[in-house]
Amino acid sequence: MPLDTEADYERFASHLNAIDPVVQPFSFRHGYTLLKWPMGGRYPNRKMHMHSGMFWKSIQVAMDVRPDGTRFDEFYPEIPYTVFAGAWVDDCQAGLRWSAPHMTTHPMPFCQLASHLLTYLEHAHSYLARFDESLVRSFGCSRSIGKLDSPP
């Protein structure tokens, strides 16, 4: 199925409605802002962000890619998904993003994701709870993001 229009992308990601009854209450309960399509990007995902000033935490449930690194363009129940959790500091005045070690699950079939999703989300949230801005900076892992007036 070619992905030429926004309607094509929206149709491609429509299967994510099946996990919203888990993702939405989790996000609300833990204070994350839920970004749904297209805010989270066109490739199927659900992103949850929490931030305070320059400090960010994010959990993302996203369609994985093929072994050769190319993206899928058609949904099927066994399509692989991953759950990612990461924390970072965007120091816009210095033009640097400081990153903490992140967590990513092994790919799992979408048809199995929903039954275990809450466990994955709670684990990701517990992992992120360990980080604050000073700990993230202490890892010394940074890259240039250019100087900005405010966080993206």
Q: Residue 8: pLDDT above 50?
A: yes
% of the chain exceeding 90 in pLDDT: 75
Bigger pLDDT: 110 vs 38? 110
Query: Domain residue spans in the chain?
Result: 6-144
Q: Residue 149: pLDDT above 60?
A: no
- Among 72, 69, 16, smallest CA distance to 40 is for 16
Determine the average pLDDT of the residues in 124-146: 94
Q: What is the pLDDT of residues 53-101, one digit of tens each?
A: 899 999 999 999 999 999 999 999 999 999 999 999 999 888 999 999 9
Q: What is the pLDDT of residue 29?
A: 97
Average pLDDT along the chain: 91
Q: What is the pLDDT of residue 4?
A: 80
Return the residue matching tokens 């992120």. Answer: 128
Q: How many helices (H) and strands (E) does the chain have?
A: 4, 8
In what helix (H) or strand (E) does residue 88 lie, and over which residues does it extend? strand 80-91
Bigger pLDDT: 3 vs 59? 59
Q: What is the pLDDT of residue 58?
A: 97
146 dihedral zone (left: phi>0; alpha: psi -120 to 50; beta): left
**Whole-prediction pTM value?**
0.90
